[in-house]
Chains A and B, each alone.
Chain A
Amino acid sequence: MNVLLDNFALFREGFLGTVELTALSGAIALVLGVIMAAFRVSPVPPLRAFGTVWVTLLRNTPLTLLFFIAALVLPRLGLNTWSFFRLAVLALSCYTSAFICEAVRSGINTVPLGQAEAARSLGMTFTQTLRLIILPQATRTVLPPIGSLLIALTKNSAIAGGFSVFELFSVQKTLGEEGYNIFAIFIWVAVAYLIITLFISAVFRLLETRLAVAR
């Protein structure tokens, strides 16, 4: 108990750091992921190729390596005014967007082809068809995997702690160096992560039940 109460401000700062990282990267990853999924099913070949390259590169690169690129290479290529926090968000959101793209694409594939054909024969453009007809119907299928991806993102954000961003994992490092009982620290750090991940699970469970009724 001591560890938490004695260092509550530190824990709070770390907790908020992880929440911020996760929320911001998650939001950007969702937007990017949907855009990339749209690219991958678009009738325009260069967009399709771009989406494929994006997913292949980001999904198959270790996240730690992406962090090294973001923290060490990108500043030399002109992003030298960016804080480590921003660079961490960039790495996390790009990485996660590749997975979200594939989840969304699998959702798109579950919507019967006839829905798109009907939309197109009414004169809707590709973007309208996707936005008004396909994506709303894909959402229900896509929610569970996206929930899992955001939980994975929460835990992946710990890597940012190794790159000068203050979050939950950095709390463990700081307190460990100060000589507190390592198990006590880990338990409280784990509880803090659980709060975030259980919150995400709850939100997604709510969304799923909401959408189940809407039909």
Chain B
Amino acid sequence: MQDPMMLETPVDVLNYALTLEHLEHAFYRDGLQEFSADDFETAGYAGNVYEWFGIIRDHEMEHVNVITQVINDLGGEPVAEATYDFGYTDLAGFIGVAQVLENTGVSAYQGAAQFLIDEDELLTAALTIHGVEARHAAYLNGLQGESPFPDAVNPTLTPDEVLAAAGPFIIS
């Protein structure tokens, strides 16, 4: 059995976060090219859902840009976007994957925060992203007819657990 993944340096933690933000941003960017506002409306979603997906995409892009910048500032090498296959074939599938990605993202930041415990500014920055992922997740849960807040205590995932969940989306 492999040793648990260790995030030893701040750059390790940031690159872990960047790996997930790339995944999320690419997912929305490409999906919103594929599906139009009309597609959302035809599928029965309210008029603002398409627009709000665009806002979520923009948030993920800002997260990618900021984390990349910080890694550069720290003298690290930011991970690049990969090639992904999200496996959806229709809009319902796309929205289902969005829900999984955001809920996983919240748990991932939570599991990684402890590795920034000695880096006050980076920790605070990570927390401010974590909260936004939770807002996205709650919104998407509601859109899917599920509770926006299913637990009193949000589940935490280790990097290994997250990479096992996200790995199948990453082709190369």
A and B form one complex: no
* B interface residues, Cβ below 8 angstroms from A: none
